[in-house]
Structures are given as C-alpha cells and as structure tokens.
C-alpha cells in the first residue's frame, strides 16, 4: 500500500520541489509568458484596428470612385446634350443659309426672267414696228386701189417677213 500513501519525507520533498518550481515559474516564467501573450494580444488588436481602418479607407475610396463615376456620367450627359444642341443649331443655321441662298437665287432668276421678258417684248415691238413700217411703205408704193388688194399684199408681206425671220 505504499503506492497509495506516500511517505512523509517524500511528500515533504515533493511539496518543496513543487513550491520551488512554482516560485521560479512565477518569478521568471509567468511574466515572460504573460508579456508574450499581452504582446500577441496587442499585435492582434493592432492588426484588427488596421484591418478596420483599411476597410473604412476602402469604403471611402469606393464612395469616392462612385461619386467620380456619377460626376463623369453627368458630365458625359451634359456634353452629349450640348453636342445635340450644337448639332441642332448648326443644322438650323445651315438650313437658314440654304433657304436664304435659295431665295436669293430664286429672286435673281425671277429678275432675269423679267429682264428677258422685257427684252423679248421690246424686240417683238421693234419687229412689229419695223414690219408695220415696211408694210405701210409697200402699201403706199403699190398704190393699191381697193381694200382686197391691200389685204392680200399685207398678208403676203407678213408671210414673207415671218419666213425671213425663221
């Protein structure tokens, strides 16, 4: 039964060696272990804080990038709107210039037509006057006595004059 009940001397030396080991560990081992655990805990806390800050910075950067994208889209929309307005204005100006040019050309064409018409009328009047003078001269020279002969001569002269001009 000596295995179950140790001797008092052995028990004393076991308690004394256990006490010395606990004292040495308490004096030199536990502070080192505690310090290392505290340092590790501080490192983990710092890492967690840095991770939280990095996450906040990432969220801020994402917000900034979304804001920049929103502004870029607004600017793009504004530029497209301005481009469309400029296009409409340019097309309107071009249409107005074309209409103005067309009116000018149409007015010039009307003026030329009127000038040509006036010239043609003057020429026709001149021709009629010349023809009338020729007819009158020939009628007087022919000393025609009756009206029928005068009409026949006038008709013949008119036919000659028309054939001559053709």
Residues 76 and 67: their CA atoms lie apart, in Å, by: 14
pTM over 0.85: no
Please give the average pLDDT of every successive group of 10 residues along the chain, which has 166 residues. 73 92 92 93 96 95 95 95 94 93 93 91 81 73 66 76 62
Per-residue pLDDT tens digits for 40-59 = 999 999 999 999 999 999 99
Cα 110 to its chain centre, rounded Å, is 42
């Amino acid at each position: 039964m000596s295995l179950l009940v140790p001797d008092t001397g052995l028990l004393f030396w076991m308690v004394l060696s256990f006490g010395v080991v606990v004292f040495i560990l308490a004096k030199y081992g536990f502070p080192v272990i505690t310090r290392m655990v505290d340092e590790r805990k501080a490192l983990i806390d710092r890492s967690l804080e840095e991770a939280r800050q990095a996450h906040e910075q990432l969220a801020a950067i994402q917000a900034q990038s979304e804001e920049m994208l929103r502004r870029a889209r607004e600017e793009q929309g504004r530029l497209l709107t301005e481009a469309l307005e400029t296009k409409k204005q340019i097309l309107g100006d071009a249409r107005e210039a074309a209409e103005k040019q067309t009116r000018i050309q149409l007015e010039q064409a009307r003026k030329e037509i009127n000038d040509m018409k006036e010239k043609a009328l003057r020429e026709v009047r001149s021709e009629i006057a010349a023809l009338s003078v020729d007819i009158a001269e020939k009628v007087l020279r022919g000393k025609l006595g009756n009206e029928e002969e005068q009409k026949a001569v006038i008709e013949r002269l008119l036919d000659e004059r028309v054939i001559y001009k053709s």
